[in-house]
Chains A and B, each alone.
Chain A
Amino acid sequence: MASTTSESTVVTGLTKPATEPLLSIRNIAKHFGKNIVLRDISLDIAEGEFLTILGESGSGKTTLVRIIAGFETANSGQLWMSGERLDPLPPYRRRVNTVFQHYALFPHLTVEQNVAYGLRVAKLSDAEIVSRVEQALSMVKMKEYARSKPAKISGGQQQRVALARALINRPRLLLLDEPLSALDANLRRQMQVELKSLQREVGIAFLFVTHDQEEAMVMSDRIALLRSGELEQVATPREIYRRPATAYTAQFIGHTNLLPADIKDGVARYKSLSWPVQLPDGPALFSLRPENIRLAGISNDPIGDAVRFRGKLRHHAFHGASELLQIEHADGLVLWVRIRSSGGGWHGDLEFEFSPNDAAPVRESQTRD
């Protein structure tokens, strides 16, 4: 594989930075025996960017970061960092550091010895090591645990130590392999905020791996959605949510209604629904988010050319701030609708409306093994 172009058909989203990308992943492919894990991945990461690789388990996301860290070798393709080949270097020569899923703290070393590890093996002076370790530990608020062994501190604290240990080496790129998956929900939300603000503070590019779409949305500058070893879409969280490129993206990121419509003369039709589009004739798939549908006639902010439909409540789930309703129309049309919580008590025929602009055309996702 000697391809030097880094353009990929699936890369959309941010306009490419004018400067050279920090890391350029070019046509990376990897298989373990007959099991193909990654096929032709191309992706650029900019300086200071928070990029999330999002995917289900088995999508190949961990393999991709392990290739970048140097623990696995790709079968084809190249990695470039700031204009230099990265992939021939062993892991210990790459200016990339990793926060491991289960932290991988050295159990025989104290917190401060763990954090100092990278500087020790680089044979820095004791004075510099001491001051940088202190700085790193106060950055993650772990100074008072400096002399503790990893087994004596909590999961969240271990997480912080792992972060300090990786960042103290001032890497160009920090890889985070599902670092929050072992934490409970509250701590996780708190760490998401902390991680994001820490990333802004240090200005180091983060490549974050997760299977949790909400986590990806909250933290990332861009999300790269990986599916069975291929990139499905790369875009900002807003764009990937509002304009999902494929049906898979629309369903994986958030909750959606998929409408397999037929277009004829600028009008899309699906069952009893019809709305104007500016697309050529033929079958087309649309994604309509549940929160873009609302009860008709209760808002004093009318939608111009609203599409209206009536239906009966079939199922209803209370989510706190919002409620999810499953509405069934007489012709068998079933749609999910998210509305703000109210007193409840819906019954009989209800009327709903949505704006045609919110029905986003998506590509059919290819079916793969």
Chain B
Amino acid sequence: MYQPMLFIHWKQASWPLLPISVAAFGLPLLSVQGMGGNVGEEGLFAAAYSPLAVIGLPLYPILAFLTGAALALTSWNWDHQQNHVYALSLPLARWEYAMLKMGAGAVLALIPVTALWLGAHVASASVTLPVGLSAYPNELGVRFLLAVALSYALFFAMAAGTMRTNLWIVSAAISALVIGVPILASFGFADAALQFLWRPGGPFEVFTGNWALIDV
């Protein structure tokens, strides 16, 4: 049952997943452009702060976010198109069907994650780092995996619901921003609330943490 489900999900997700995987492999390579060879400390410094490297850092979480979203949305796309009639006529409990789907997406997420991890290793191996700097390809891979998992879980939960449910969620989120933030700000809590979301240990910290492949 699981294998055909994986195949079905692959059929739906392959078109966004392939370019995402290529990007995931290429991004670490791009981030070390100019660092290779004998460029000296000044060259390395210039390369580390080149526009490409600066732009490159936020691209990792964005790519992770997109990967999760693409996998989750393609997961339910065909079922929504058929008004879920097919899924509901199959002889398995709804939770079991949802778990099979989620599991299939989780396995497919390993493709771009592996691509990024490999790209990070290739990129690390292609530069000679001076003393004091290190490459963190495994850490980058794990961070990407966690960010994809978080994004996938959020979007999967939303995509599994009806359009009406999603409108409620989006409306509630917008209302919270429009009404909640000014109220919190008036009490001086707005910064604290936002900090709670992004701070180390917060629910979205994985997106805002350190994405550097080369660091001290």
A and B held together in a complex: no
- B interface residues with partner A (beta carbon < 8 Å): none
